[in-house]
Chain A
Amino acid sequence: MKNIEVPALARVEGEGGLYIGLENGKAVEIRLDIYEPPRFFEGFLRDRFLQEVPDITARICGICPVAYQMSAAYALENALGVKISPQARALRRLMYCAEYIESHALHIYMLQAPDLLGKESALELAVEAPDVVKKALRLKKIGNELLKAIGGRSVHPVNVCVGGFYSWPDEKAIKSLFPDLEWGLQAALDTVKLALTFEYPFLEIDYEFVALHHPDEYGVIEGDVLSSKGRKLSIAEYETGYIEEHVRHSNALHSHTVDSNTYLVGPLARLNLNHEQLMPNAKKALQESGIQLPLKNPYKSLIARGIELVHFYEEAIQLVKEYKPTGPAHIELKLKAGEGSGATEAPRGLLYHRYKIDGNGMVQFAKITPPTAQNLPRIEADLFALAPRIINMPEAQATLTAEHLVRSYDPCISCATHFLKLRVEEK
């Protein structure tokens, strides 16, 4: 069979291509070409005022702007040595719930499910199953509406600041979403049931899973960076365990652990490491699914996203119930020179930021490690593992299976433009 080539990957965020070179029935070359151009955020963040940073980093990714705002805000709050109020923290979690709902509903139904149903897109699916697609759109819309109520708009919301929020969202506007969220919880539970009926390609990988872990809640903001190999680091220690390198011959920044392993971040890592912290309905859905953890099939990250969708609808309901804005929405900041790191769980995995600021609050140094940058070496290794299974398939099916694998990671290529022409050659 011929080489597998996908010049332009569809239904991913950002643009990239895929090439698998075969020789005598073996994959000899795998290349994930990221032609998404570099935008130099870490360059132009320097000499900006710290309060501008969340607005600027949001623009790294239109699909998960909240994650970029949150990691930046926490890193800068750590640099100043301040902690936001418990109410502001609860609102940050609610805002994150909204982003998870919007992003996971988009990925499950519009980006990945078409592969499992033999469709080119959700729009094509809408022709024969309009009710499923309408339900999916409503599931997604509720996340966007909640984001809008908190942040003014769903893409690049404007309410997050270093120190908390600019102002408390209107209580009535937040509470009015309650019936929609209750509907969404049921629809999310149905999503898990639907996800369990799909037939997933077989692939099991012995991953090292890495995610934020918090003893009292499903790890999203704050906590420790936990690895399934037992390594537990504080967020401030992240860079002692996980290293980003510009690898010779690969033209790419490459994340790996200190002991040179690839590792996986994202929904599978979170579910496997943090399932005990799931909300009751999500935990029940997981138990009833009969899934044995750790879940090791990358294609089945769709199921993990489904369970998380239940969790975040459920958590959003609780937070909306408890929402009662009191006191100032943000703390007053006293500027001083410092350095701080922050990590939160973007829907597609751990997102780490570190900044140095001077005494006037101007950024001197910025470092951003996006989830997809950490996952790309793993995607490439998965493609090698997949190759022997697909080389005897008809070409179209082989191509789709490889493409589907990349899509199942929900890669955000716009975020990860540290990667250019990832190239692996077997010598």
Chain B
Amino acid sequence: MKHKKPTVAVYKFSSCDGCQLSILNMEDELLNLVDAIDIAFFLEATRAQRPGPYDIAIVEGSITTPHEIERIKEVRAQAKTVIALGTCATAGGIQALRNFADAEEYANVVYAHPEYLHYLKTSTPIAEHILVDLELWGCPVNKAQVIEVIVALLNNRRPNLPPHSVCLECKRRNTTCVIVDKGIPCIGPVTQAGCGAICPAMGRGCYGCFGPAREVNTNSMAAMLQKMERYPGETVRLFRGISGYAPTFRTIADEVLSTSKEAK
């Protein structure tokens, strides 16, 4: 029996386009993918646009303007299933660094006439605005995980995504721990797997692209990192990076900052 192909819309909010590109980078699977799903709206790939409602909405990017708050509600209203794609959509992305600073001051630094700009003081994940059915982390996302999510949805099953931290990926590829062996600060022990532990494999520390892993001991991690800082404030900056606004990371960064202030 032949089922009707599910309709899919791909949207971009505040982002770099890299996660959408991960879809176009499925060079071996793209043509099979379009056999299995019906791409109804995907501006980066095609001019053809069909109106909703859609079965699946894939959303890249974070919410940084008043207009985006309205748009994301419209996306929700038009889609049965909403997938937040990538760390901008799941944690606010690198542009969420403004959340720890004065966005107005940033605007003054970058633009001569900041009064012309329309922006929010914060960059926030999609789930702060609408109900999100599934979050896929990564900066960028791992395309094998994107395929897994789509295949799982097509087969009405739960996607199989790794719950463990980057450490296990290092073990699997036989990478010696960069913290233990070289004294290099690395937040792999508290970061979700998914990248394949590429940074430690190159002799550098993980900087948290896939967001916090579940049930991790960030206090212990922070205490260790503070002893091995290569420049003042490295621990805070490691947590306040690509996934800095994810609650687990932002809480520990705040704690480290407040205790180091007390110590002074």
Contacts and interface: CB of A to CB of B under 8 A. Distances in A.
Given A52-B237, A59-B94, A141 B107 contact: no
Interface in B171-209: 195-196, 198-199, 201-204, 207, 209
A124 B46 contact: yes
B16 A110 contact: no
A8 interface: yes
B64 interface: yes
Contact of A414 (B17, B68, B106): B17
A63 interface: yes
Interface in A2-50: 8-15, 35-44, 46, 48-49
Contact of A155 (B21, B34, B46, B117): B21
A414 to B, nearest CB: 5
Given A246-B112, A360-B231, A43 B101 contact: yes
B47 A44 contact: no
Contacts of B20: 62
Q: Which has the most chain B C-beta neighbours within 10 Å: A38, A63, A130, A253?
A: A38
Interface string A94-114: 000000000000100010001
Nearest to B204: A166
B39 interface: yes
Interface in A220-249: 245-246, 248
A16 B209 CA distance: 28
Nearest to A52: B237
A144 B17 contact: no
Interface stretch (B25-33, B129-137, B251-259): B25-33
Nearest to B17: A62
Given A40-B107, A42-B109, A55-B207, A138 B27 contact: yes
B24 A110 contact: yes
A166 B202 contact: yes
B interface bracket (residues with beta carbon within 8 Å of A): 35 or more
B51 to A, nearest CB: 13
Contacts of B30: 123, 137
Contact of B31 (A48, A133, A167): A133
Contact of A153 (B44, B112, B198, B232): B198
Contacts of A281: none
Contact of A40 (B18, B65, B98): B98
Contact of A418 (B46, B94, B110): B110
B143 to A, nearest CB: 9
> Which 9 residue pairs spanning A and B have beta carbons closest together?
A62-B18, A43-B106, A121-B46, A246-B112, A152-B198, A141-B27, A120-B48, A44-B97, A40-B106
Interface of B: 12, 14-22, 24-25, 27-28, 30-31, 34, 39, 43-49, 64-65, 67-68, 93-95, 97-98, 101, 103, 105-107, 109-113, 116-119, 123, 139-140, 195-196, 198-199, 201-204, 207, 209, 231-232, 234, 237, 241-242
Interface of A: 8-15, 35-44, 46, 48-49, 52, 55-56, 59-63, 65, 106, 110, 114, 120-124, 126, 130, 133-134, 137-138, 140-141, 144, 152-156, 158-159, 161, 166-167, 245-246, 248, 251, 253, 360-362, 403, 412, 414, 418, 420-421
